[in-house]
């Protein structure tokens, strides 16, 4: 039985997970940084819109985390 949760794989072509992407975004939160690091988007390209949506979520998560720590 797989322990992988739905949505864990962001780029199927290069087998890149959300954790892989987040590790890059903690240093440089751009889709281009992920494309450069892993090659995402250079095969079928299906992950590119997913990366843009995930980046918005990541940035919101970061912003709300920072706000919560200030209060």
Q: Which of 23, 44, 59, 63 binds ligand FES (CB under 6 A)?
A: 44
Q: Is 41 helix (H, G, I), strand (E, B) or coil?
A: coil
Residue 10 near residue 18, CB atoms below 8 Å: yes
Could you tell me the two tokens for 71?
């209060």
Assess contact for 47 and 13: CB atoms under 8 A.
yes
Q: Does 40 bind ligand FES (CB under 6 A)?
A: yes
Is residue 55 close enough to count as binding ligand FES by CB under 6 A? no
Applying CB under 6 A, the span of 25-33, 45-53, 55-63 interacting with ligand FES comes to 45-53
Query: Using CB under 6 A as the criterion, which residues of the chain lie in contact with ligand FES when the complex forms?
Result: 11-13, 40-41, 43-47
């Amino acid at each position: 039985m797989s322990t992988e949760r739905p949505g864990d794989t962001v780029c199927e072509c290069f087998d890149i997970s959300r954790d892989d992407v987040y590790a890059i975004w903690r240093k440089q939160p751009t889709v281009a940084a992920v494309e450069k690091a892993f090659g995402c988007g250079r095969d079928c390209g299906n992950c590119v819109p997913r990366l843009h949506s995930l980046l918005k979520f990541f940035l919101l998560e970061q912003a709300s985390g920072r706000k919560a720590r200030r209060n």
